[in-house]
Amino acid sequence: MKRLLPAAIRLFSLGIAAAILGGCLVGQPALQHGDEKSAEIIYSGDVASTLPVAKRYCSGYERVARLVDTTPGVAYYACDLR
């Protein structure tokens, strides 16, 4: 019985560590390609998470981001004049 308890604690701790590290593997949206007229943002999960990245990118050209199209994993934005 004494040997089972430390093994169970180690196994439980390993499971907790794996769950925490597994959450870190979810990628954040990031710019894949862009110019003054468009931006391609890669993402996983909800496409809405790409909007802040596109806004920041397009604002560098004094433009506003407008979602044009999506494919699984990529959101395409137009950078329109204000």
Q: What is the pLDDT of residue 25?
A: 45
Residues 53/54/55/59 CA torsion (nearest 10 deg): 110
pLDDT for 14-37, tens place per residue?
555 444 444 444 589 999 999 999
Averaged pLDDT of the chain? 83
Judge whether residue 77 has pLDDT over 70. Answer: yes
Q: What is the pLDDT of residue 82?
A: 86
For the entire predicted model, the pTM comes to 0.68
Rounded Cα distance, 52 and 65, in Å: 9
> Between 23 and 59, whose confidence is greater?
59
Whether the CA torsion 29, 30, 33, 34 is positive or negative: it is positive
